[in-house]
Chain A
Amino acid sequence: MTTLPTLPTHSLFDRLEPLLAQVSKPIQYVGGEHNSVVKAWEDVDVRWCLSYPDAYEVGQPNQGVAILYEILNERDWILAERTYSIWPDMEARMRDAGVPQFTLDAHRPVRMFDVLGVSFSTELGYTNLLNLLDLSGMSLHAADRGEDEPIVIAGGHAAFNPEPIADFIDVAVLGDGEEASLLISDIIREWKADGREGGREGLLLRLASTGAFYVPRFYDVDYLDDGRIQRVAPNRPEVPFQVRKHTLMNLDEWPYPKKPIVPMAETVHERYSVEIFRGCTRGCRFCQAGMITRPVRERNIETIGAMVEGGLRATGLEEIGLLSLSSADHSEIAEVTRQLADRYEGSNVSLSLPSTRVDAFNIDLANELSRNGRRSGLTFAPEGGSERMRKVINKMVTEDDLINTVAAAFSSGWRQVKLYFMCGLPTETDEDVLAIADLARRVIETGRRASGTRDIRCTVSIGGFVPKPHTPFQWAAQASAETIDHRLLLLRDTIRQDRNYGKAIGLRYHDGKPGVIEGLLSRGDRRVGRVIERVWREGGKFDGWNEHFSYERWVAAATEELAPYGVDLDWYTVRERGYEEVLPWDHLDAGLDRDWLWEDWQDALDEREVEDCRWTPCFDCGVCPQMDTDIQIGPTGKVLLPLMVAKPNLA
């Protein structure tokens, strides 16, 4: 932009400027990025502040927030700005100077907005939510919030069990946010037009009575003497027993983000990403994302091509990501990658496909995407080390498949293979984990033979499994940190001792402790809120960052805060749940039939696999009839639309 407008109304910029000059990487707090939007406060009816509760470098690239920012700002009666978590050095200066949490776009105080929408893709952002509320000068507890405070709305995958943060949020939104955020805006606008009827409570009631928004305060939770939940029931006649998730259909009609913000500060993920489809029905039993985003809805090749071209022009980025839960599964992925690779051949544009499918087809795609680039590393995710383990988790890939795939990769010039695994899966034994070492050995052996060189590597990356709500493993006992650590060390020693292959195999792992806390937060209920608050009061924040996360602080807080309820950390994590137990999220409807999930859990224990409903008949997971949705996939037979580009005349 050529001119700087005079400061927008309510801007705190003048007070911020001197503080910013004293902190590290100040640019992360000030916005002004290309494609950011500043609107006049008075010109709109509804004002959103969106947040991803982590540092800018992690939060800015988030696709969910980018989509909502654009969709909301496209409406002339809505304004959306953004805010992220603030590092301790800046926070200290803001608290000293009495400057509250502000937005990047117009530097307005967060507390002035109608809505504070927070996106949670991980539960480890909960302490940052508390800090965000506090630094905004807002009431920590929803119950204490005044009429003039924003309503706090949680969205993103973690919102499928928002019970641990129920005390701090006003509303949770399950599922896709495109239409949901517009519906919320409509309801707020009407409520304002009706003279804010019923005040804050009145607005929340309007939202809750649709059945599409979860307002925790309108549900009471009763407990049994043994600590389990007895019942969760609405305390208002207008409010339904179940709250349903949102599912966006016809993704071709929603080609967002079209012009995402181009960060000036460095971030973790600097590429223009196109979601080529949403949802996944592969049915991996550990994967919450796959379960809660059904059914599969593809974008067609025409839309993908148009989004890529438009996105490149709007951002000036050079890297394109074709994003989804399993990108190689798009019904026309070969066409999409070939045609895009053709179109951008010879330019500096690079394409990437975060894909985890383990088959030869994947190698063809990878080769296509690296036509003139270097073939350095390929990534596969077998997730389970032994064949038995992979049956339990429904990751249908045999060891021979994997080895053949790897052989194909090494013969076409790839030199490094990265394999992702999980440790602590249900029914897992030491042997299952040690099978990873055997697999890695076979990979190196095969690679050396296929490539004719010893210069190849296999990196094994392994993390502790955390059971998640709305998955067949929601009933499972989580493995203790000791179990995880024991198995990881065993694996490490076994690989190290291997004279022949040990040096060619790298092992990357994390200890089991953070996973235990993630487990507490994932399957927790409202009582866990006190633990989160206690941890935050004792200085806990940025829990996703090793250097800030304190296991000891979490354990101590859990011990003390849960004791009055007769439950503890183990009760939430390493305890297996039974069929009859009321789970904290049972009243939140992801569409999955509870009995189907239970049967799938039993099938897992029996090591029985289930097919993908895209290619076999529906196996009645419940989502499509319950949500009135359908699988939307190609092939469409379409091709990339020709580019209509007029080069600017600069001569």
Chain B
Amino acid sequence: MAQRQPPVQQAPPAQRLRLRYAKRGPGRFTSHRDFGRALERALRRAEIPMAYSSGFSPHPRISYANAAPTSAASEAEYVELALAEVCDPQKVAAALNDVLPHGFVILDVAEGRPESLGDLLQVSDWKMTLAGAQPGVLGQAASRLLDRDEYTVERLTKNGMRTFDVRAAVLILRAIDDQTLALRSVHQTPLVRPDDVVTALRQLDARVPAQALLTRLAQGPLVGERIGDPLRESPVMQP
């Protein structure tokens, strides 16, 4: 039948923009898919001239990298948009901020660079709030974990039960106060998530509360001892 017309071959994008955005308040409870739908609709409301993929059902070209899990808040999520026309990055960010749902805010924007976002997002800083922890408990559990060379936990994934070496992923872990931990973790495969760290701490000390509210504070390349800006900096190995 001649009903199906051959798919239109789309032109290559005119510009790539990388955005840093925050997930706050109600926004933290969106899944990765929820955010994807919300972003696509916001892009249409803002009339951003997106580049589309070729094929029978063309979709706007958006690349996500290393999204925070559902229920984690974040000040440092990153996404890349491919545009069909060259735009002023600041105007795009402002137009999106006018129409994004509550809890999502574009914080920064820059032109794309050759290194992929995925390669630039090497480490994250997390704040983990464990309400109800008794004084001292978090700090002690953290040092017990840091004393190990290796520490594995199990988590049920889509592909069944998997083992994760939590210790290997932890660069920094310390108590800021009785209820709060600061974590710096390396993104490896398989990815160790902050809730895996909580699981490890609970295994080491049963007094650690099970429920943690997570917030990602920063994400980017390791530049010496600090986390660099993935929109503008590249990894610099420690000497």
Contacts and interface: CB of A to CB of B under 8 A. Distances in A.
Contacts of B46: 648
A32 interface: yes
Interface stretch (A17-25, A356-364, A605-613): A17-25
Given A316-B40, A316-B42, A266 B71 contact: no
Contacts of B35: 264
Nearest to A317: B41
B38 interface: yes
A27 B3 contact: no
Given A27-B31, A32-B25, A18 B131 contact: yes
Nearest to B39: A316
Contacts, number: 112
Contacts of B41: 34, 262, 315-317
Given A27-B29, A264-B30, A21 B101 contact: no
Contacts of B26: 27, 30-32
B101 A33 contact: yes
A372 B6 CA distance: 10
A316 B49 CA distance: 13
A146 interface: no
A513 interface: no
B116 to A, nearest CB: 25
A650 B95 contact: yes
Interface string B30-53: 110111011011111111110000
B58 interface: yes
A510 to B, nearest CB: 30
Interface string A23-43: 001110111111010000000
Contacts of B5: 372
B91 interface: yes
B4 interface: yes
A374 interface: yes
B59 to A, nearest CB: 9
A265 interface: yes
B101 to A, nearest CB: 5
A651 interface: yes
B71 A20 contact: yes
A413 B102 contact: no
B61 interface: no
Contacts of B119: none
A245 B58 CA distance: 47
B92 A650 contact: yes
B44 A316 contact: yes
B87 interface: yes
B69 to A, nearest CB: 10
Given A264-B34, A648-B95, A413 B40 contact: no
A1 interface: yes
A32 B45 contact: no
Q: For the complex, would chain A's binding face be called helix, strand, loop or mixed by DSSP majority?
A: loop
B100 A1 contact: yes
B97 interface: yes
A312 B41 CA distance: 10
A22 B25 contact: no
Given A2-B97, A316-B43, A317-B41, A348 B33 contact: no
A313 B58 contact: no
A318 interface: yes
Contacts of B43: 316
B105 interface: yes
Interface in B85-118: 85-88, 91-92, 95, 97-103, 105
B29 A20 contact: yes
B163 interface: no
A499 interface: no
A25 B34 CA distance: 10
Given A32-B25, A374-B4, A264 B42 contact: no
A26 B70 contact: yes
B27 interface: yes
Nearest to B214: A21
B232 to A, nearest CB: 22
B177 to A, nearest CB: 17
A375 interface: yes
B44 to A, nearest CB: 4
A194 to B, nearest CB: 38
B193 interface: no
A264 B38 contact: yes
Contacts of A29: 29
Interface string B187-215: 00000000000000000000000010100
B45 A315 contact: yes
Given A32-B25, A316-B44, A651-B86, A27 B101 contact: no
A649 B92 CA distance: 10
A538 B194 CA distance: 40
Nearest to A4: B25
B3 to A, nearest CB: 5
B174 interface: no
Contacts of A266: 33-34, 37
B47 A647 contact: yes
Contacts of A647: 47
Contacts of A27: 26, 29-31, 34, 70
A34 B101 contact: yes
A416 to B, nearest CB: 13
B101 A650 contact: no
Contacts of B87: 650-651
Interface in B4-36: 4-5, 24-27, 29-31, 33-35
A191 interface: no
A221 B231 CA distance: 73
Nearest to B34: A264
B156 interface: no
A26 B69 CA distance: 12
Nearest to B43: A316
B45 A313 contact: yes
Contacts of B105: 2-3
Nearest to A13: B25
Contacts of A413: 1, 3
Contacts of B101: 1, 32-34, 262, 264
A-B complex: 7 closest residue pairs judged by Cβ atoms: A316-B41, A32-B26, A32-B102, A30-B26, A316-B44, A26-B29, A316-B45
Given A13-B25, A26-B71, A648-B46, 10 more contacts: A1-B100, A27-B34, A27-B70, A29-B29, A31-B102, A33-B102, A34-B38, A316-B41, A316-B43, A316-B45
11 contacts: A21-B29, A26-B71, A27-B26, A27-B34, A30-B25, A32-B27, A264-B30, A264-B37, A315-B41, A650-B87, A651-B85
